[in-house]
Amino acid sequence: MEIEFIPVDYDYFDFQGRNYVEVIGRTGDGKRAVIIDSFEPYFWAILKPGISEKKTEEIMRRIMVIKVEAVNRITRVLKTELHDKKFLGKDVQAIKVVISNYKDGHAIADQMGWDEIEKRREYDISLLSRYIMDKKILPLNWYKVSGEVLSNSEEFGGIDASLDTDIVLKAEKFERMKEQRDFEPRILAFDIEAEEFEIGKGSILMISLYGKNFHKVLTWKNCPIKQDFVECFEDEAEMLEKFAEYVKSYQPDILAGYFSDGFDLPYLKARAEKNKVRLNLGLDNSQPKFSRGVVTSASIFGIVHVDLFRFISSVFSQYLQSETLSLNEVASELLGEKKHEFDFSKLGQMKEGDWHDFFAYNLQDSALTWKLADKLWQDMLEFSKVIQEPLFDITRDRMASHVENHILHNLYRYNEIAEKRPLHDEIALRRGLGKYEGAFVLQPQPGLYENICFLDFTSMYASVIVTYNLSLSTLADKGHEVDLQEGTVHFSKEKGFFPEMLEEIIKKRKQYKKEYKENSTNLLKARSNAYKLLANAAYGYQGFFGARYYCREAAAATAALARKSILETIEKIKKQGFEVIYSDTDSIAFLLGDKSEKQVLEILKKLNAELPGIMELELEDFYKRGIFVSKRTTGEGAKKKYALLNEKGKIKIRGFETVRRDWCSLAREVQSKVLGSVLKTGKSDDALEYVKGIIKKLQKREIEKEELVIKSQLTKPISEYIAISPHVTAAKKMLELGLPIRPGMMIEYYVAETKAKEKGKLLVRERIKLSNEKGEYDIEYYLGHQIIPAVGNILEVFGINLKEMAEKKKQMKLGEF
C-alpha cells in the first residue's frame, strides 16, 4: 500500500532488543497514521592518524565482539565500516559502529577506550534526531510512503491493535513529494481552573476545551447553571474521565496549553492519580509522560502537546513588547484580545452569577490559547522545517539548541562527524573562564540634538563570523590574526562549516525577506523570521558554555572584530565632517549638520563599498530631534538611555525608566510625557509646568495608589537571596498570608507612609506594603525616589535643577510647588 503522509511526531519502541521508530502523522486524506520503521543506530570511533590497515582490521574485529547485557536485552555490534570522514574540518579515518540498541551506545563506546582510538563520537545524539538525519524523514514534509498495512497483525507483538489510529503501516519506502502542499493541523486548546495554585493540592474545578466548532467547559461544580458550553458531571473523577474522552474523540494533532508543562498537565496528572482515573490520552492509550529536568515537559504519545508559553518565552519573547509573558498580555499584543476578568478572592463564597462568570473566564483562556496556537502555527511549522527537529522539541528548545540542531542536521553535507556535548567538568571549566571583552559603547554628551542620522550594521556579529571565518574548526596556528586580551589567535582562511552554514542562513534570510516584501504571506514572514533568529543566535552559541561547538576564542574574536569595525567606521564618518554623538555595538548616530539626507546616503554607499566580506551598513532612520541625559551617579553622559523623534513624529525611547517595568506607572508616564514634550517642542517650558502639576497632585494625595505600585520579579526562591530587597520582603509577606509564591512571579508593592519619628530610620523594605494592602503612600518617597529621578536628568539638559527646586520649596516650608 502507498499513502501520502506528513510526519507530525516521532517516537520509538523496543522489540526483541531492537529499536523501531514510530512516525505519527496524517495521510493525504486526513486520516491518522503511524508508520513503523526499522532503524539501526550507530556511532563513530575516530582512529588516531597513521594506524595501519592491518591494525585497523584488528580493531574492527575487537569492536565486533563487544556486547552489553542490559536487564532484558543483550546489545551487540551488528556491523563495522571504515569511512573517510572529517572531524572539525580535518580528514580522519573513522569506524562506523552499528549497534542493535541505541540505549546501550554509550556503554559500548565506553568499552573502546583503546590507544588506537582517538575519539568516540555521536553516541550522544538522540535516537529520533539520528533517525531524521539519516533517513531524511523530515518533520512536516509530505512523503509518499509504501509498506505493509498492519491489521490485527502479530508483528511487533500485535502493536497495531493497541494503536488508536486509522492506519498502521510497516514502512518499506519513503519518498519526499515534489509538491509540498499545505497542512492544517487539528488544534485543541485546553485550560484548567483549580482550587489551589499548588500542584494537586486542591481539586480541579473545571476544564475548558476549545477547537474548531468545539467549545466546552467540563465541571462538577454548581451544576444547575445552564450555559450551553458547560457540561456537568457527578464529581471530579467523572470530569477527568470525560476530559480524556473528549480529547481522544477530537483527534487533535496538537494539544495546546499556556504554561501547561508547569501547571495544567501536572495538575491533571496529580488529580487523576488521586481519583484513580487513567488519563489515557495517547494514541496507545498511555498517560502523559513527564520528563525530568530543570523544567519538566509533558508529552503525550501521538499528540504533540505544545505549551505556547514555552515556545514564546524561549524563542519569541525578545521580539515582543509585553512586559510579562502572561496569557493576558501576550494575547493582547498578538491577538488584540484579552482574558475575561474574574476575582479569585470570591472562590470561597461563590454565588450563582459568579460561577457563570467563572465558566466563561475558563473558556476564554482556552479560546485565547487556541487563537495563539493558530497565529503562531506558521512560525512553529517553519522552525520545525528549517531546523528539522520535531514540533515537540521545537516548541521547547532554547535558541542555543536550535542553532546546534540546525548544525547537526546539516553536518552530512560536510561529511563531518559531530563534536560531543560537553560534560559536567568541561562546562565548569568553560564557565570558570569568565567574561571576555564585548561590545563598544560610545559615551554620549548629554544634550538635546537636532537632525540625527542612525546607521547600523545588518546582523553584525553573524556577518563578522562569516567574513573572518570564526569558529572552532577554523581556529588555527596561522591565518587571520585577531588580538585579544588573552593573546593573539588565528583563524584559517579555508572556510569552515560553521561560518559557511551561517552565510547560507544569512543569504536565505535576505532572500525570504525580499520575497516577503513582494508577497506578504505569513509563510514567508515566518520563514524569514526563523532564519533571522538563527543568524542572530549564532554568535551567542559559540560563546555558550553548553555548546558542542563552543569556541571562546571565536566569540571573543567576533566581539573584537566588531569593535574594530565600528570604531573604524566612526572615524570615517567623522572624516566626512560629521559629529558622531553615539554608538552602541552595531549602530552609529551622527548629526547631519549642513549635509543633506541625500548626501548621507551617498556616503553610506561609499562606506559599504569599503567594508570587507559580507559586512553591510544600512540606514536605520533620520531623526528630527534626540535627547541624551547624564548618569545620576557621576553626571557624565549615560549610555543606553536616549529618546528620539523621527520625521514622521514617532518617538523611540530606549533605556529610560519609561520602558522599565520595575518603576511605578506614574513615574513612567510622567517621564514619557516629559520626553514627548521636550522632543516635540525643543523646549522644557511645558514639561516643567506639567511636572509641577503632578508634584502638586502627589502632595495633595490626588494620585491613585495603583499608579504608585512598584513591580519587580522574584527570580529565584526566597531562601536563595543574599540581599533582602523590598520585593523579597514583599514576597515574604505574601508567603505569610498563604499566597502562592513562585520564581518568575511579579511582586507588587508600594512604599507606605511611616510615623514621623521613624522617618529616615527605616529601610525601604521596612516601609513597603503589598499592592492590595490598606494604607497611605509615602509622598516623600515617591517624590524623591520616583518622580524627581525620572525627570530630573531630562530637565537638567535645559539647565533646570528640579531636585534643588524641590528642596528649596521644602526649606521655605511652602510644602508644595
Nearer to DNA, 609 or 723 (CB): 723
Q: Does residue 174 interact with DNA by CB under 7 A?
A: no
Nearer to DNA, 13 or 545 (CB): 545
Shortest spacing between CB 295 and DNA, in angstroms: 6
Binding residues among 657-696 for DNA as defined by CB under 7 A = 659-662
Nearer to DNA, 25 or 626 (CB): 626
Give the distance, in angstroms, between the CA of residue 68 and the centroid of all CA atoms in the same chain.
39
Binds DNA by CB under 7 A, chosen from 54, 435, 478, 757:
435
The window from 186-194, 272-280, 325-333, 392-400 that contacts DNA (CB under 7 A) reads 392-400
CA separation, residue 627 to residues 151, 162, 342, 748, 753 (Å): 73, 68, 43, 31, 35
Nearer to DNA, 716 or 742 (CB): 716
Binds DNA by CB under 7 A, chosen from 88, 764, 797, 800:
764
The length of the chain, given as a count of residues? 817
# residues near DNA by CB under 7 A: 75
Binds DNA by CB under 7 A, chosen from 162, 318, 521, 681:
318
Q: Can you spell out the DSSP letters for 517-541?
A: HHS--HHHHHHHHHHHHHHHHHHHH
End-to-end CA gap in the chain: 86
Q: Does residue 808 interact with DNA by CB under 7 A?
A: no
The window from 224-232, 257-265, 276-284, 651-659 that contacts DNA (CB under 7 A) reads 651-659
Nearer to DNA, 613 or 789 (CB): 789
Binds DNA by CB under 7 A, chosen from 70, 74, 737, 763:
763
Half-sphere exposure of 122 (CA within 13 A, CB side): 27
User: The sheet that has 204-211: what strands, in order across it?
Assistant: 230-232, 214-219, 204-211, 187-194, 254-257, 304-307
Q: Does residue 555 interact with DNA by CB under 7 A?
A: yes
Which helix (H) or strand (E) segment holds residue 706: the answer is: none
CB 729 within 8 A of CB 703: no
Binding residues among 622-641 for DNA as defined by CB under 7 A = 629, 631-633, 636, 638-641
Nearer to DNA, 239 or 708 (CB): 708
The window from 121-129, 268-276, 759-767, 771-779 that contacts DNA (CB under 7 A) reads 759-767
Binds DNA by CB under 7 A, chosen from 233, 690, 721, 798:
721
CB 409 within 8 A of CB 128: no
Q: Does residue 725 interact with DNA by CB under 7 A?
A: yes
Q: Does residue 562 interact with DNA by CB under 7 A?
A: no
- CA dist 737 and 350 (Å) reads 21
CA separation, residue 495 to residues 501, 505, 544 (Å): 10, 15, 22
Q: Does residue 715 interact with DNA by CB under 7 A?
A: yes
Nearer to DNA, 56 or 665 (CB): 665
CB 306 within 8 A of CB 254: yes
Binds DNA by CB under 7 A, chosen from 144, 673, 732, 765:
765
Burial 576-608 (b: 16+ CB within 10 A, else e): eebebbbbbbbbbbbbbeebeeeebeebbeebe
Shortest spacing between CB 586 and DNA, in angstroms: 4
- CA dist 47 and 115 (Å) reads 9
Shortest spacing between CB 289 and DNA, in angstroms: 17
Nearer to DNA, 277 or 664 (CB): 664
Nearer to DNA, 272 or 653 (CB): 653
- Contacts with DNA, 250-279, as mask; x by CB under 7 A: ------------------------------
CB 279 within 8 A of CB 240: yes
CB 101 within 8 A of CB 19: yes
Cell of 798: 535645559
- Contacts with DNA, 456-495, as mask; x by CB under 7 A: x---------------------------------------
Q: Does residue 653 interact with DNA by CB under 7 A?
A: yes
Binding residues among 60-79 for DNA as defined by CB under 7 A = none
Give the distance, in angstroms, between the CA of residue 659 and the centroid of all CA atoms in the same chain.
21
Binding residues among 412-431 for DNA as defined by CB under 7 A = 421, 427
Sign of CA dihedral 147, 150, 155, 161: positive
The window from 155-163, 217-225, 268-276, 647-655 that contacts DNA (CB under 7 A) reads 647-655
Shortest spacing between CB 309 and DNA, in angstroms: 15
Binds DNA by CB under 7 A, chosen from 368, 793, 794, 795:
793
CA Rg value for the chain: 31
Q: Does residue 782 interact with DNA by CB under 7 A?
A: no
CA separation, residue 461 to residues 512, 559, 594, 614, 793 (Å): 20, 7, 33, 11, 33
- CA dist 769 and 107 (Å) reads 57
Binds DNA by CB under 7 A, chosen from 401, 467, 474, 684:
401
Cell of 247: 480529547
Half-sphere exposure of 794 (CA within 13 A, CB side): 33
Nearer to DNA, 466 or 555 (CB): 555
Q: Does residue 290 interact with DNA by CB under 7 A?
A: no
CA separation, residue 711 to residues 205, 706, 714 (Å): 30, 11, 10
Nearer to DNA, 6 or 710 (CB): 710
- Contacts with DNA, 524-553, as mask; x by CB under 7 A: ------------xx-xxx-xxxx-------
Shortest spacing between CB 13 and DNA, in angstroms: 25
Q: Does residue 735 interact with DNA by CB under 7 A?
A: no
**Nearest Cα residue to 646 out of 452, 446, 795, 449:** 452
For residue 443, give every residue at least 6 positions away whose Cβ sits within 8 Å of its Cβ, in sequence order, or none: 636, 637, 639
Per DSSP, 545 falls in state T
Binding residues among 27-46 for DNA as defined by CB under 7 A = none
Binds DNA by CB under 7 A, chosen from 398, 480, 513, 595:
398
Binding residues among 576-615 for DNA as defined by CB under 7 A = 584-587
Q: Does residue 323 interact with DNA by CB under 7 A?
A: yes
Q: Does residue 405 interact with DNA by CB under 7 A?
A: no
Shortest spacing between CB 726 and DNA, in angstroms: 5
Phi, psi of 290 (to 5 degrees): -115, 120
Shortest spacing between CB 715 and DNA, in angstroms: 4
Shortest spacing between CB 721 and DNA, in angstroms: 4
- CA dist 431 and 552 (Å) reads 10
Per DSSP, 783 falls in state I
Q: Does residue 723 interact with DNA by CB under 7 A?
A: yes
Binds DNA by CB under 7 A, chosen from 184, 437, 685, 758:
437
- CA dist 407 and 122 (Å) reads 13
For residue 563, give every residue at least 6 positions away whose Cβ sits within 8 Å of its Cβ, in sequence order, or none: 437, 439, 440
Per DSSP, 499 falls in state H
Binding residues among 739-758 for DNA as defined by CB under 7 A = 746
Binds DNA by CB under 7 A, chosen from 149, 161, 429, 441:
441
Nearer to DNA, 629 or 688 (CB): 629
**Nearest Cα residue to 232 out of 339, 359, 341:** 359
**Nearest Cα residue to 95 out of 35, 51, 33:** 51
Shortest spacing between CB 293 and DNA, in angstroms: 4
CB 21 within 8 A of CB 171: no
Q: Does residue 654 interact with DNA by CB under 7 A?
A: yes
Q: Does residue 737 interact with DNA by CB under 7 A?
A: no
Binds DNA by CB under 7 A, chosen from 61, 650, 716, 808:
716
Half-sphere exposure of 380 (CA within 13 A, CB side): 31
